[in-house]
Structure 1
């Protein structure tokens, strides 16, 4: 047995030290400014060092801390470029990379999950991890029938570490807020805690993946790997690999980025209607582009069940905002709890606040860019702007928080891709009620 308990015990101290390290460097930078240092140069140096520490701590701790970093990574497109650049690389690393679990720990976990004779299930097993996830890592292997497979193994102590990380991150949310201006971190952390609890049993993930694989079997746009075997803390699925979406974002051609964006949008909008499920972990590390052009979707640990498809309240709100019907929109929002009793809110302001969801639907094609989503964040986050007050006056009922986060995360990835997407056509296929009208189609 390895020294798992000792390593687990050191996690909270490292995580707690993250904001202190950032604060210490800020104080040092302030001192250098007083002695004549260049303000912009010092600020850039501080941001770069803070980003380096962010990855080092969150990546090493994995668990809830890494999950938090992954969730933030899809929102980096909304951060102004002068602040985002140092964090962009660090947050991108968190999508697929983390220090590996020792081979002895991997063998221990596989023996615990599949029995001491676990090796007989495989013809070959590569001890070097092929990828890292928030609560586990993936190894390449050959199943006993000759199929190449991906073996996902949960980190020892992941459950305890996850809960500890998220408690600590909750206490740190105010200090971490500058990483995501315009985004309320406390509700995000609370929602992540609930979702991560569900991800701890890989049998649930395997069940969701089997459902998605069956629904999208033979689909010309989407590929979901088949599940081969599963246990509470280990899972085996067919090995499928392509070009990572982060690579397309970083160096893809215009055509490649547009292609990836359209397939991602098709998957996001089709799943609630086709599978009555929503893949709820939208960050680039969970998507790849196969040689045949299909979108490979990975990691089904976080999935929302939507028995009726996309919630009708959200569809109706989007429809009324899209069609320019503020009075009806306000009534639906009040009835659903988005506007609390006694709150004064101008209907036109509420319409404008929903622009990120409706603006891309007004044209045949829409260009998603960092500058576009930065404008949305500036409008919502600028306290001098009336629409920022609108955001503070709106309420997000808990039953819609996950769908909202996933939808915003998907928009964030489309903006990272800088993709031009025929979103209106895609949405009309899966939510035609948005465009059914009384002659008013916006």
Structure 2
């Protein structure tokens, strides 16, 4: 029977793969939409892990076919769920509820029914699908057969660790008692203005049933049309929730797709964010929290903190990071850019992928492969926040809100946190933030007199070829005296540290370019 179910899920995977390839190849707009609809339909039919992948598409896509995965798919009839509900509760439905309604929508592992308890409390009852556990087990067996290919194989990703992380997380999500406990802890430990976590009725929660207070509100596409003041308040609540859950509580909501957040106004007319579905949360140990905050503060203040030591404390493989350790301070400047400024940050200006690639090139895969297997869940949480801010069209001061969320005392604790020291080979450079150059300097003189003097952020050196005027660049290349590619490779390997980059004599003109750590 298990083999048959695995084969059935494999066939669904196969059809989804074909639909995804068709979507990727389609150029015509109408055909593209039809391909999306077909792919979304396959995700919906599959439920389980595959539907969760479809919900990730919805978070990135925001278009109608995938949006249906967020708002819910066709649920099973109430009469099909009642026997399961009564079996879990150990009593008849009418003994517990005054009424229970058919589900209006369904999710990846279960569906939600609105109900009224005997005492009059209005609740939402989440019931796990019959046989979904077997379907997920079949999918996990397929995941276990996945080979390491492409970047996964070339750059040494620990695929077994990622598979284990997925397997542990999915099996935990299937137990609603575990979810209820985590939801209760989250609600008590993450106190943020404007945040509402539904109350859990623990006495009615079972492995396949979760009962919580009823939540009301609209999805983000509707909230995006609210006033700027309301949207800013919502954005602050979302950001403060992530920061407080990550650094203070150490328990992060790891499933930030749009269907898990309701937006409303409380009885005083103030914007309110209701966070749902705690099946996927990420536990972050205190050492890792302190190391991450120390990394952000060190990067911001250009302290003597060494990023290599912080990344190792976060769970990264230090042996893999040592060959690129010279680039880690600059990498942190890219990753933590929103925290480095004091004014509201526009995510559209981040260009994270391009900057990441400019600095590391193909070695970006080496950095990713060095990360712990649960890192992708934390990245999902941050990615979800950024997408929500973009949909709300608001810019927020990240550093100010981080300070408010964690408090000065915790920041000082992080700054004083002693990291394990990572020993490097003599040829490797484990640079600290204060060793990194701060400015890229360009000076042009003619006949011994200065004509042009320009200073720009040191990170601009990563795009040096595009900063040089085309005619000058052509003459530099033609001279054969300066190898700009070799220069870029050296910077990537050794870091953006103070140094003379090159001097180029061009007739009466002299071009001098260098990196400095003084303004």
TM-score band w.r.t. shorter chain: 0.7 to 0.9
The answer as to whether partners of 2:240 and 2:401 remain within 8 angstroms in 1 is yes
Report the more deviating stretch, 310-319 or 280-289: 310-319
Residue 18 of structure 2 corresponds to which residue in structure 1?
20
Residue 392 of structure 1 corresponds to which residue in structure 2?
365
Residue 377 of structure 1 corresponds to which residue in structure 2?
353
Q: Secondary structure at the match of 1:101?
A: coil
Residue 223 of structure 1 corresponds to which residue in structure 2?
196
The answer as to whether partners of 2:73 and 2:106 remain within 8 angstroms in 1 is yes
Q: State the superposition RMSD in angstroms.
A: 3.6
**Cα gap change, 1:133 to 1:25, in 2 (>3 Å):** closer
Residue 77 of structure 2 corresponds to which residue in structure 1?
102
The answer as to whether partners of 1:278 and 1:304 remain within 8 angstroms in 2 is yes
The answer as to whether partners of 1:273 and 1:309 remain within 8 angstroms in 2 is no
The answer as to whether partners of 2:22 and 2:35 remain within 8 angstroms in 1 is no
Deviation at 1:346, TM superposition (A): 5.3
**Cα gap change, 1:400 to 1:315, in 2 (>3 Å):** farther
TM-score normalised per structure 2: 0.67
User: Which of 42, 50, 55 is residue 65 of structure 1 equivalent to?
Assistant: 50
Deviation at 1:285, TM superposition (A): 1.4
Q: How many residues align?
A: 398
The answer as to whether partners of 1:225 and 1:238 remain within 8 angstroms in 2 is yes
The answer as to whether partners of 2:104 and 2:113 remain within 8 angstroms in 1 is yes
State the distance in 2 between where 1:54 and 1:15 align. 11
The answer as to whether partners of 1:245 and 1:284 remain within 8 angstroms in 2 is yes
Highest CA radius of gyration, 1 or 2?
2
Deviation at 1:93, TM superposition (A): 2.6
TM-score normalised per structure 1: 0.77
Q: Deviations over 1:248-287 (max 9, x none)?
A: 24x4444343222111011111124554422222222111
State the distance in 2 between where 1:337 and 1:24 align. 37
Residue 37 of structure 1 corresponds to which residue in structure 2?
none
Residue 37 of structure 2 corresponds to which residue in structure 1?
52
Residue 164 of structure 1 corresponds to which residue in structure 2?
138
Deviation at 1:108, TM superposition (A): 2.2
Matched, 1:311 2:268: no
Equivalence map 1:258-337=2 (5 Å)? 258-292=232-266, 293-306=271-284, 308=286, 311-325=289-303, 328-333=306-311, 337=316
State the distance in 1 between where 2:373 and 2:123 align. 38
Q: Deviations over 1:34-79 (max 9, x none)?
A: xxxxxxx53x3443233212210112221111122224444x2xxx
The answer as to whether partners of 1:246 and 1:285 remain within 8 angstroms in 2 is no
Residue 86 of structure 2 corresponds to which residue in structure 1?
111
Equivalence map 1:104-143=2 (5 Å)? 104-127=79-102, 129-143=103-117
Deviation at 1:215, TM superposition (A): 3.7
Deviation at 1:247, TM superposition (A): 2.7
**Cα gap change, 1:210 to 1:18, in 2 (>3 Å):** same
The answer as to whether partners of 1:65 and 1:162 remain within 8 angstroms in 2 is no
Equivalence map 1:360-371=2 (5 Å)? 360-369=338-347, 371=348
User: Which of 404, 412, 430 is residue 387 of structure 2 equivalent to?
Assistant: 412
State the distance in 2 between where 1:357 and 1:256 align. 28
Deviation at 1:308, TM superposition (A): 2.6
Report the more deviating stretch, 333-342 or 353-362: 333-342
The answer as to whether partners of 2:23 and 2:32 remain within 8 angstroms in 1 is no
State the distance in 2 between where 1:310 and 1:333 align. 9
The answer as to whether partners of 1:272 and 1:310 remain within 8 angstroms in 2 is no
The answer as to whether partners of 1:15 and 1:58 remain within 8 angstroms in 2 is no
Q: Secondary structure at the match of 1:354?
A: helix
State the distance in 2 between where 1:25 and 1:274 align. 42
Q: Secondary structure at the match of 2:99?
A: strand
Deviation at 1:205, TM superposition (A): 0.9
User: Which of 160, 169, 172 is residue 198 of structure 1 equivalent to?
Assistant: 172
Gaps of 5+ in 2: 152-156, 417-433, 439-519
The answer as to whether partners of 2:308 and 2:322 remain within 8 angstroms in 1 is no
Q: Secondary structure at the match of 1:300?
A: coil
The answer as to whether partners of 1:283 and 1:413 remain within 8 angstroms in 2 is no
State the distance in 1 between where 2:309 and 2:256 align. 31
Residue 328 of structure 2 corresponds to which residue in structure 1?
350
**Runs of 4 or more off by more than 6 Å in structure 1?**
6-9, 169-175, 184-189, 435-438
Deviation at 1:359, TM superposition (A): 1.3
The answer as to whether partners of 1:65 and 1:166 remain within 8 angstroms in 2 is no
**Cα gap change, 1:223 to 1:341, in 2 (>3 Å):** closer
State the distance in 2 between where 1:145 and 1:246 align. 35
State the distance in 1 between where 2:22 and 2:186 align. 47
